[in-house]
Structure 1
């Protein structure tokens, strides 16, 4: 069995691309392609389906990828252990997050302490971020409203507050809004699957408040633009505030208007030095 071929396959399976796999391994794309091709030809098996836009794993490829992820994960842990006496931490850390606002300052803090570390960041929604961690496509993850489960180590971060987003000059700007004031107000909100939206909807239900949701949008940037255009009141998490002079965030007073944020890793990998270094970060960011 050729470990170079398995390493090339594992990189393609993790990255979903021959180009990104080559960058991960610091070799040429033709070399990666050649290694995978020889592996498939030697064992007379198809591991990958190549299309014009993406690379997909076959059923056999999925089974092999589960093995190679575990195998090379242990290799990386052994390397980290052997390098533990180095003055400067080096290596590569795969980070997943369900938004950029919390994780970017954490990455900056990590890089300031350990400039030799290479970080690969994957951004997605809450479900995609948790799935990346559980499938070992990510070493650590910054997540929102994740329930504890066996084999997962979660570390609490400071919570965030749900705020109303209004145009500058709005009658509610500069005040604290009671959630009851939003009853029958015209609002522009994220899609129902958004965690911020789910938290707000649940708080409204508990308070007996019924906003008039006339526009649903798939990004916080779109919500900001809609509010700036005076299409309605928006909702945003206090950790996602942008410095846009056209809009202002106003705290909402009411029950259940906070979100819990966590740093997570797999329990069995929590002693990895790189992972432990990231888990030790405070995770606090300015919300002003």
Structure 2
């Protein structure tokens, strides 16, 4: 079955004229005539009656027109949907991030400029976020300390610094200049799990200067670390971009080398040119 022939027949059936059908399809009138003649000859069925004033459908043509109207009506709907997506009037964006603090302002900017877009956000740790991007469960991802790799486009977003998190009444809480990393040697601490980027950066920096804190608890979320510190179970560590207002705790800068994390926006290289993904990168700070 030749869809060009069906499209020509459908246009004539809708317009009632070969001339108007040709204009509708942006092709010549002889081309429309040729397509329909080929369709009728191939299936040995008369579809149109040509009169002096107009084109009329035969009984078989009327039945076929009902089918082609449905077929090409759906095609037109598909084209409208895709065109709206291309112009960012609608569409769905899948986003993954290893924390909410950087990604939320980006989503707000995207929604302000393109209110028809729906965003689905999945939050996880660094490994889960990268895995979601590589498996195409996410269109874009906000990542921390990701090494360059083939097939992934990365754009720098910002940097953050590891801070100590202490109870509000702790002697360090009022130290604006912060503390030296060596002051954490043999200090009781409550830390994220070893797979956390914050934890990994902190451990690597401690190892370089032979600082060995006493880890009392390992916790699977920054919220749990905050609660443990507020309960005075120990000193925690937190990224400077993740510090939330909480009168029970204070974030104190840690002075030392190797305590900075790089945050990046990533997508698969082969999808970088897609309009919606382009829009995210254009709006990134």
* Pairwise same-fold verdict (TM > 0.5): yes
Deviation of 1:110 after TM superposition, in Å, equals 0.8
* Correspondences of 1:179-258 after superposition (within 5 Å): 179-258=181-260
Q: Which runs of 5+ in 1 are unaligned?
A: 1-77, 284-288
Q: Deviations over 1:170-195 (max 9, x none)?
A: 11112111101111111111111111
Provide the residue aligned with 1:167 in structure 2: 167
Q: Secondary structure at the match of 2:133?
A: helix
Q: Deviations over 1:62-100 (max 9, x none)?
A: xxxxxxxxxxxxxxxx989744774x6421111111111
For 2:199 and 2:85, how far apart are their aligned partners in 1? 43
For 1:281 and 1:104, how far apart are their aligned partners in 2? 12
Count, aligned residues: 205
Q: Deviations over 1:238-261 (max 9, x none)?
A: 111111100000111100001111
2:161 matches 1:158: no
Q: Which runs of 5+ in 2 are unaligned?
A: 1-78
2:283 matches 1:273: no
For 2:274 and 2:188, how far apart are their aligned partners in 1? 49
For 1:139 and 1:80, how far apart are their aligned partners in 2? 19
Classify 1:231/1:83 alpha carbon distance in 2 versus 1 (closer, same or farther; 3 Å). same
1:93–1:139 Cα contact (<8 Å) kept: yes
Provide the residue aligned with 2:121 in structure 1: 121
For 1:96 and 1:84, how far apart are their aligned partners in 2? 20
Q: Deviations over 1:218-253 (max 9, x none)?
A: 111111111111111100011111111000001111
Whichever of the two has the greater Rg, that structure is: 2
Q: Secondary structure at the match of 2:146?
A: coil
For 1:257 and 1:85, how far apart are their aligned partners in 2? 42
RMSD, aligned CA = 1.7
For 2:217 and 2:117, how far apart are their aligned partners in 1? 43
1:179–1:252 Cα contact (<8 Å) kept: yes
Query: How high is the TM-score relative to the length of structure 2?
Result: 0.69
